[in-house]
Chains A and B, each alone.
Chain A
Amino acid sequence: MYEEAGEVFDIFRGVFPISFLLFVPAVLIIVSPDPVEAAHEFSVYRMQQFDLQGTSYGCRNAIVNMEARSLGASMLTRRCVVTRLADLTVDKFKDLVDQSAGAVLVLLPDDLSNVPRENLEEFIELEHDLMDQDVNTPVYFAVEDNTLTKIYAAIQDGSNTDKAATATEALLHAASANGFQMVTTATQATPIKDAQITSIQGKLSGLGIEEHLPTVAIVAHYDTFGIAPHLSYGADSNGSGMVALLELARLFSKLYDNPKTHPKFNLLFLLSGGGKFNYQGTKRWIEDNLDHTDGSLLSEVSFVLCLDSVGSGDGLYLHVSKPPKEGSALHSFLEELKTVLDAQFPVVNFTMVHKKINLAEDLLAWEHERFSIRRLPAATLSHFPTHRALERQSITDQKFQVDPGVLTRNIRGLAEALARHIYNLTAKGHDGSMEIFQDGLNLHPKSIEAWLNSVTAQPRAAQLIGKDHTLLSTMEQAMNGYLKDVRRLTFKPDKRDPEFVFYSAMQTTMNAYNVKPAVFDLFLAVGIAVYLGLVYVAIINFHFLYNFVTSINTIKVKVKHQ
């Protein structure tokens, strides 16, 4: 046969185009890289990675191309550990790192609102602890769907191999098990070059000469933080603060538009960016206003009120760095807020919390500390009694964490108190039960809820809000509708000594390839050899079948002839 084959190829020899046609595709096929055909493709979100003020935080690695194992498996070295959120604890994570696991994929439940409270709390702590670790292992998060559930079950099943009692058992299991190779399409994470933080400010000018009137600034940061930027929806912190700020802007713009109620008071509004990165946007805003321009409204501000997490709970805490002196504007506002809440919402438990700024710490506790450092009277209003509340920096902070009713109530209290302060109503003898914001001036609970839905519909981590992000234009538009002199402030980090560095590859695609272990191929080869042997025997002995059919035929013919 081989000589015959040679004969055939002799014909082609010398005929250039034909041999060329045969040769080139063959070479192309052979040199082509391993084809990739995805079995299951899903989006994965990488754990935070950023540098802040020269310190690196989060996960330093992005590339995954390794076999999957479940958390309980004994061999984890250079394997991708796939685990459910509920099964992972900090100790287990440390254990994984000690065993030099190659990567970790955490499956998150589809809907976090169904997860029991205590599990959520555990996870929030885990998030915090993970951020404290020096993580060189790629850590990814994925939302579990049906296929992932199946894959997870198969991985759990396959991982039991390592625990098989006998060698034969292990071998058999290895041959029958389904393995999965997890591959990310991401390249190594690199710093994002044109990272920037944008804040938006606007104001309402009082009646009279602007510079001579007292000013109150209201500030809320809009960005969010969680273990993975793409999963940080930040409903309570600080979607609620954003919504409250926008609603306050709307309410007061009505008062300012009416000549009869136009107060002799300026209001400054700032939606600040980079709030979760040590309030970088706020810092830049203060610097711009105090150091560069003279006579800005902020330098003469009577107090700054920061809003952070005002969307749930029955507590309201006014955090200050220094208790306000009696007779100061902040003190009077505090009293007004107390009066209003006592009279109209006795259920609210309102307290002032005093915490000194700890300059030794890397990160500031509350946004108002940025102002307090610069000796501007400031306070933060929050339903969290302490800045250590980890819920403010969690991916579990989703829409279900905010009660629109509570948010509306808090906004109302805040608006009433602010109005009483601006119009000095207490001195005019009006008691706390007087309601200013009613009828035409009433709050719009529906619009509050709509805003809340809109801002929590997408992750708003600082990394994701580029200068063209729709969120910025939406907020700018909304503020333009109520406020004057709306401006964007863009903060780009210093080239040589950047205040913050963001990294790429926070969201990527992972493929789960169904693979079989090498032993399986051996088994298969043996099986095929046996099959081919049977085929050989069948072909060799074909004449038996032939003769058998022939004999039946002759019998028939004989029968016919008889």
Chain B
Amino acid sequence: MTLFHFGNCVALAYVPYFLTYKFSGLSEYSAFWKCVQAGGAYLATQLCKMLILATFFPASETGGGNLDVIGEFLKTSVDFGDLIGIQLIMSSIPGKGEIKIMTAAMGWATAELVMTRFIPMWVGARGVEFDWKYIQMSLESNINLVQHIAAAVLVWLWSRHDFNRSLLPVVGTLLGLSVYRPLIVEILIHAVGLGSWTLLLAKALFTGAVGLVTLQLYVGLVHSNPSNHYD
């Protein structure tokens, strides 16, 4: 629509990231450079994923309305690469667990935001045509931030050897859920026919639930064993 609308969308998408960075304590740890590195790792991971996808899942000729669940499932499985990437970033960052998690998640999420949202917004939100989808895109990026933080926490928990073994299946399920989230969303769109706003709400609720359970697990680990504060 106008540059003003573009500004609105950008503010909606980016300011929560900035606020999170500023007030989560990351800025006090001079983690900016680390976040940029995490962003670089995001790029490298995406490149590897793309290579794998291009090698093993060539674009299918049959473009139809039907959802190829198994094919999509296999493709989405490649997203486990993201978790490996996050794990690698966290292992390369010295410091407390929460700083590790936040740095990796922030860098990762911001890189994703810049790479996947900025150009569509620049092209679309400035166009003559008005569409709610750019506002929705911005809101979705906020949800994604929570999602990435939760994923980073889960990966961190998974890699801890002092973590309660009996809870590992829970962590595994949650990780699986966060990886297959796009697929679940796709199936939901096909099966229930959710509108864009209800879909956004569903994503928010889903991510909120995953986030709360993750927080519960995290708190459980950190507080059951105070020595974990330093790693």
Contacts and interface: CB of A to CB of B under 8 A. Distances in A.
Contacts of A427: none
A181 B127 CA distance: 12
Nearest to A547: B219
B8 A539 contact: no
Contact of A521 (B1, B24, B124, B129): B1
A545 B212 CA distance: 10
Interface majority SS (helix, strand, loop, mixed), chain B = helix
Contact of A514 (B16, B129, B135, B224): B129
Given A4-B33, A536-B19, A554-B223, A546 B12 contact: no
Contact of A539 (B19, B122, B224): B19
Interface stretch (A35-43, A229-237, A259-267, A483-491): A35-43
Interface residues of A, number: 38
Interface stretch (A202-210, A395-403, A410-418, A524-532): A524-532
B124 A37 contact: yes
Contact of B223 (A514, A532, A553): A553
B214 to A, nearest CB: 10
A516 B131 CA distance: 9
A531 B1 contact: no
Among B8, B124, B130, find the residue whose CB has the most chain A CB atoms closer than 10 A.
B130
Contacts of A18: none
Interface in A502-551: 513-516, 518, 521, 524-525, 528, 531-532, 535-536, 539-540, 542, 545-546, 549-550
B116 interface: no
B142 interface: yes
Nearest to A528: B12
Nearest to B215: A549
Q: Which of A181, A183, A528, A557 is most buried by chain B, counting CB atoms within 10 A of its CB?
A: A528
A7 interface: yes
Given A513-B128, A514-B130, A545-B215, A8 B32 contact: yes
Contacts of A518: 2, 4
B55 interface: no
A530 to B, nearest CB: 11
B189 interface: no
B159 interface: no
A516 B1 contact: yes
Contacts of B23: 536, 539-540
Contact of A37 (B4, B11, B27, B127): B127
B211 to A, nearest CB: 10
A29 interface: yes
A35 B124 contact: yes
Contact of B129 (A8, A515, A536, A550): A515
Interface string B191-223: 000000000000000000000100110011001
Given A1-B32, A35-B123, A525 B215 contact: no
Contacts of A5: 32
B19 A553 contact: no
Interface string B126-145: 11111100010000001000
Interface of A: 1, 4-5, 7-8, 29, 34-39, 181, 183, 513-516, 518, 521, 524-525, 528, 531-532, 535-536, 539-540, 542, 545-546, 549-550, 552-554, 557
